Amino acid sequence: MKTILKTMGEQYGRRSWAEPWKIKMVEPIKVMTPQERRKCLEDAGYNTFLLRSEDVYIDLLTDSGTSSMSDRQWAGMMLGDEAYAGSRNFYRLEETIQRIYGYRYFVPTHQGRGAENLISQTLIKQGDVVPGNMYFTTTRLHQELAGGTFRDVVIEEAHDPANEHPFKGNVDLAKLERLIQEVGASRIPYVSLAGTVNMAGGQPVSMANVKALRALCDRYGIRLMLDATRMAENCFFIREREHGYRDKTVAEILKEFCSFTDGAWMSAKKDSLVNIGGWLAVNDGEVFEELRNLVVVYEGLHTYGGMAGRDMEALAIGTEESVQDNHIICRIGQVRYLGELLENWDIPIVKPVGGHAVFLDARKFYPHLSQDRFPAQTLASDIYLDSGVRSMERGIVSAGRDPETGHHRYPRLELVRLTLPRRVYTQSHIDVVAESVRSVWDRRHEAKGLEMTYEPRYLRFFQARFKPLS
């Protein structure tokens, strides 16, 4: 792959994105027959979330909590101080987050949505409006449960899978300012900024954008809060694409980015290379007091927040590893390798390839299927049937229903996400994935779509069931 050597190698004085680690322990995975896979998919109601993991060959459902920990992290697990209060691992973690992300106060939570619940309950009042750069499922739900309404202010380019804008996660400042004037600054508790933007395909936010956003928020006295879940990956893109950052480290860029925001919440199951964990960090002492009080209601004492001592130790070490340049180059390099294989075969994907996943454009696979036939859900099913590779729908099923009207939300993007766990699969696994997608692409005209047979009330994509239309 010449292009990859060029994009990932030369620029960093390396020959390729090859892994900066070797394998010390292996976990066997199962290869099944097509008949066995058909049976498993039927049992799972054609929802890849309902498959058993042991029936999956290569698991690209999510990068959430699926990373491999390093030998250092496993060693750290043995240093767990499981005291109920004041665990040593808490203080190490607090110090690490303060140093790497630069915020003053720190609150641990069991995972990202625990943090989202606390920040939403603390800052949002009934009738508030929360602008954000594209929705994320759990983020928006917690904002709504706290009485707020989410409003999308991401740039238009983010909704177009073919647009090659280098920072498709950017906030459209004019859109945001119009919204502020429409509803009034007093009804906006904070701007909810995420880097990278998951639902747009792992697309980054630029430093220039966060700076300008800070200035705009200051003008109206509005807080700027960051979903830092994949900020290390975001900072790699800043280094690669934004003028003036080529000679900075990812860690330096991360600290600078966070300095423009008032606080952050984190799903440590992503960037931070652990299987469970999360946190909140803020600069405002009063907000911290409130969060520290609320955490004991929902998560656990403020010195563990739902994590075991050993989890906090692994997270502290994982956080350090997550901002090392060698790690990030390999991480993004592997994702890009998959993207370039598919692009070389003219398979429609979201461009440019983002940080954590390659997103297939299901509308282009199945133009003959209307959105009510769940084209992305169909595509995820077809890929599993073909090879046992598990992916995830990110389209009409994920978008859910409008709480006011009860109708489906019809998102413009109808995508399937092939999400790469960190430090788990090899280049030959990635080749298998690409070849399977190609074989489904070659048979795309045969797809008939799905019908929903069971729909849960919240976050329906997790548990909905389907059956094939004939």
Ligand X SMILES: *Cc1c(COP(=O)(O)O)cnc(C)c1O
Considering only the stretches 111-119, 238-246, 418-426, 438-446, report the one whose residues sit in contact with ligand X under the rule CB under 6 A. 111-119
112 near ligand X (CB under 6 A): yes
**For the packed helices 375-387 and 34-43, what is the interaxial angle rounded to 10 degrees?**
140
Out of 92, 270, 331, 460, pick the active-site residue.
270
Please give the residues from 279 up to 308 whose contact with ligand X meets the rule CB under 6 A. Answer: none
Nearest approach in angstroms of CB 62 to ligand X is 8
Q: How far apart are CA 225 and CA 204, in angstroms?
A: 16
Per-residue binding string, ligand X, 215-244, x by CB under 6 A, is ------------x-x---------------
421 near ligand X (CB under 6 A): no
Please give the residues from 185 up to 214 whose contact with ligand X meets the rule CB under 6 A. Answer: 194, 198
275 near ligand X (CB under 6 A): no
Would residue 270 show up in a list of annotated catalytic residues for this protein? Answer: yes
Per-residue binding string, ligand X, 379-408, x by CB under 6 A, is ------------------------------
CB atoms within 10 A of CB 462: 13
CA-angle at 291, arms to 286 and 294, nearest 5°: 130
Contact between residue 266 and residue 226 where contact means Cβ atoms under 8 Å apart: no
131 near ligand X (CB under 6 A): no
Would residue 12 show up in a list of annotated catalytic residues for this protein? Answer: no
Nearest approach in angstroms of CB 425 to ligand X is 19
CB atoms within 10 A of CB 406: 7
Torsion of CA 163, 166, 171, 173, to 10 degrees: -90
Contact between residue 162 and residue 147 where contact means Cβ atoms under 8 Å apart: no
311 near ligand X (CB under 6 A): no
Would residue 461 show up in a list of annotated catalytic residues for this protein? Answer: yes
Q: How far apart are CA 121 and CA 147, in angstroms?
A: 9
Nearest approach in angstroms of CB 173 to ligand X is 21
Count of positions on this chain that bind ligand X (CB under 6 A):
15
Nearest approach in angstroms of CB 229 to ligand X is 4
Q: How far apart are CA 26 and CA 259, in angstroms?
A: 40
Torsion of CA 157, 155, 142, 127, to 10 degrees: -140
Q: How far apart are CA 332 and CA 325, in angstroms?
A: 11
Q: Which element (helix H / strand E) includes 152?
A: strand 149-152
180 vs 335, beta carbon nearer ligand X: 335
Nearest approach in angstroms of CB 424 to ligand X is 17
Nearest approach in angstroms of CB 69 to ligand X is 16
Contact between residue 124 and residue 147 where contact means Cβ atoms under 8 Å apart: yes
64 near ligand X (CB under 6 A): yes
**Could you list the active site residues?**
84, 136-137, 227, 270, 394, 461
Residues of this chain that interact with ligand X (CB under 6 A) are: 64, 111-113, 136, 138-139, 194, 198, 227, 229, 267, 269-270, 278
